[in-house]
Amino acid sequence: MLDKVGIAKRIAQEVRDGMYINLGIGIPTLVANYIPKNMNVVLQSENGLLGIGPFPFEKDIDPDLINAGKQTITMMPGSALFSSAESFAMIRSGKVDLTILGAMEVSEAGDIANWKVPGKMVKGMGGAMDLVASAKNIIVAMQHCSKEGASKLLRKCSLPITGLGCVKKIVSDLAVLDVLPSGGFKLLERAPGVSVEQIKNATEGRIFIDGEIPEMVL
Amino acid sequence: MIDKRVLNADVAVRDIPDNAILMLGGFGLCGIPENCISALLRKGIKGLTCISNNAGVDDFGIGLLLKTRQVRKMISSYVGENAEFERQLLSGELEVELIPQGTLAERVRSGGAGIPAFFTPAGVGTEVASGKETRVFEGKTYLMENWLRSDFSIVKAWKGDAAGNLVYKGTARNFNPMMATAGNITIAEVEELVEVGELDPNEIHTPGIYVHRIFQGANYEKRIEQKTITKN
């Protein structure tokens, strides 16, 4: 089973040289730490920055420089700053190559729910609906099951939807799965020490298992 | 040159009435018009509709106006990190309209660009789409969204001049440039009010035509919401 860092490390393997990438809050933010140093990628922050750098040293903190999670950051050489309208223009027009975000539920049709739990506090969708509606390639980082053991990879989402048919790949604490264009989860890799049977039992939506499923290499 | 300078925040917001529709720039607490928010608190006007990406935190930003019950309605994309907000929302004292962030940005941009509506894929198939017109373009479904305009837009810039030209710094730009264009009256507070001619015309983000009042702000706190550092 993978912890948060494990999920981030596995997702980092999906990153390719030359990509523009938007990382969501939480586990997706950690992915930045595991992108190979010899790769040139540019991280987009939807509040208006291309070229997110590492967190600043204490002495370099600038309150006018934050990421979408409102954390203090730095800029890489060659960064560009812009407005929120321009930021979402580049997102909607498909200029961002890869979007990595968290989810509370994903359906076998690739629908994603990650913004609202009715009856609990509603914080708002932020940029999630814009990102999932337009991204060319969306990878979801998530826990396969709830704390109570209920599957979060479902036939249909039970929570309010963020976007329809948009998730392409899921990296959970148990497995790597593709969402098939025709519907259903295709099991690609098992997390270390996790059996195919465990993954099957933890997946409520249709799951397709072809031949031997390799254990992921981190 | 038309001189847009006013003395301070209190003068700048002097004629904002009860029930006004306001736009307030900023993302989180970054790039918010701190001086004007304080002036609105002092003025005590009520029934405000605030269009702003976020609603501040309990004791800073728009959160201060929520505490004094001056806000009737928030139009935002993300309103977490605010317990008073949550209480007023659940008790029904506060009306809230949540809008996807890119849609919010574009609705404001459209308001300032004379475009009454546009189509976006964000929110298709979600509760955001309820009651809205959809249309298919090249096989994909899009949602029609209307422009947003304000009675008063209040923005914060890094530098500005008497002509109302503005330059923003870092990610404090965010919603400020679009909001500056979408106000019936636009008020700009700046950290540095410089002499006309000092700003390089090649590098102006908001041309002065959009700005009606500008003043030199004071005592910026620039509170940080999530301080994250790299340890030595």
Task: Note the pLDDT tens digit of each residue in A48-83.
Answer: 999 999 999 999 999 999 999 999 999 999 999 999
Band of pLDDT at residue B157, cut at 50, 70 and 90: very high
Are B128 and A58 a contacting pair at CB < 8 A? no
pLDDT digits (tens, 9 = 90+) for A192-201: 999 999 999 9
Which of A62, A70, A75 is best to mutate for the B interface (most B CBs within 10 A)? A70
Asked whether the predicted pLDDT for residue A45 surpasses 70, the reply is yes
Band of pLDDT at residue A119, cut at 50, 70 and 90: confident
Q: Which residue from A minimizes the CA distance to B103?
A: A130
What token pair was written down for A209? 């298992």
Asked whether the predicted pLDDT for residue A121 surpasses 70, the reply is no
Q: What is the pLDDT averaged over residues B156-177?
A: 98
Q: What is the pLDDT averaged over residues B128-153?
A: 98
pLDDT of residue B196: 97
The count of other CB atoms within 10 Å of the CB of residue A60 is 12
Are B171 and A45 a contacting pair at CB < 8 A? yes
pLDDT of residue A120: 77
pLDDT digits (tens, 9 = 90+) for A79-107: 999 999 999 999 999 999 999 999 999 99
CA distance A2 to A4: 7
What token pair was written down for A6? 């494990």
Percent of chain B with pLDDT over 70: 100
What mean pLDDT value characterizes chain A?
96
Q: Which of residues 24-53 of B touch A (CB under 8 A)?
A: 27-31, 53
Query: What's the predicted TM-score (pTM) here?
Result: 0.97
Nearest-Cα distance to chain A for B4, in Å, is 24
Given the structure tokens 């560009």, which residue do they identify?
Answer: A80
Given the structure tokens 């609603």, which residue do they identify?
Answer: B55
Task: Name the CA dihedral angle for B71, B72, B76, B80, rounded to a multiple of 10 degrees.
Answer: 70
Are B105 and A91 a contacting pair at CB < 8 A? no
Asked whether the predicted pLDDT for residue B226 surpasses 90, the reply is yes
Q: Which amino acid is at B190?
A: V
Strand residues in B48-201 grouped as ranges (E): 48-51, 71-76, 95-98, 117-120, 134-137, 140-146, 150-161, 166-167, 183-194
Residue A211 CA to chain centroid, in angstroms? 27
Residue in A27, A19, A17 with CA at minimum distance from that of residue A170:
A27
Asked whether the predicted pLDDT for residue A133 surpasses 80, the reply is yes
Asked whether the predicted pLDDT for residue B81 surpasses 80, the reply is no
State the DSSP string of A59-113: GG--TT-B-TT-BB--EEEEEEE--HHHHHHHHHTT---EEEEE-SEEETTS-EE
Given the structure tokens 């999630």, which residue do they identify?
Answer: A128
Q: Which residues of A are catalytic?
A: 46
Whether the ipTM is more than 0.90: the answer is yes
What token pair was written down for A164? 């329809």
What token pair was written down for B122? 């964000």
Nearest-Cα distance to chain B for A179, in Å, is 19
State the DSSP string of A29-61: HHHGGGS-TT---EEEETTTEEEE-PPPPGGG-
Asked whether the predicted pLDDT for residue B212 surpasses 90, the reply is yes
| Element at B67 (helix H, strand E) | helix B62-67
Q: What is the pLDDT averaged over residues A30-58?
A: 96
pLDDT of residue B10: 98
The count of other CB atoms within 10 Å of the CB of residue A212 is 6
Are B229 and A85 a contacting pair at CB < 8 A? no
CA distance B62 to A12: 38
Q: Which amino acid is at B177?
A: P
pLDDT digits (tens, 9 = 90+) for B90-111: 888 999 999 999 999 999 999 9
Q: Go through A97-135 and write b for each residue having 16 or more CB atoms within 10 A of its CB, e for each that does not.
A: bbbbbbbbbbbbbbbbbbbbeeeeebbbbbbbbbbbbbb
What token pair was written down for A68? 């979408």
* Structural contact between residues B96 and B72, judged by C-beta atoms closer than 8 angstroms: no
Percent of chain B with pLDDT over 90: 93
pLDDT digits (tens, 9 = 90+) for A137-155: 999 999 999 999 999 999 9
Residue in A111, A191, A189 with CA at minimum distance from that of residue A153:
A111
Query: For A22, what's the count of Cα atoms within 13 Å in the CB-facing half-sphere?
Result: 30
Q: Which of residues 203-222 of B touch A (CB under 8 A)?
A: 205, 222
Band of pLDDT at residue B163, cut at 50, 70 and 90: very high
Band of pLDDT at residue B85, cut at 50, 70 and 90: confident
Alpha carbon separation from B164 to B3, B173, B176 (Å, rounded): 8, 16, 14
pLDDT of residue A166: 95
Please tell me if residue A90 touches chain B, with a CB cutoff of 8 Å.
no
- Rg of chain A on CA atoms, in Å: 17
Q: Which residue from A minimizes the CA distance to B28?
A: A70
* Structural contact between residues A181 and A133, judged by C-beta atoms closer than 8 angstroms: no
Are B101 and A85 a contacting pair at CB < 8 A? no
Residue in B220, B76, B102, B139 with CA at minimum distance from that of residue A89:
B102
pLDDT digits (tens, 9 = 90+) for A167-179: 999 999 999 999 9
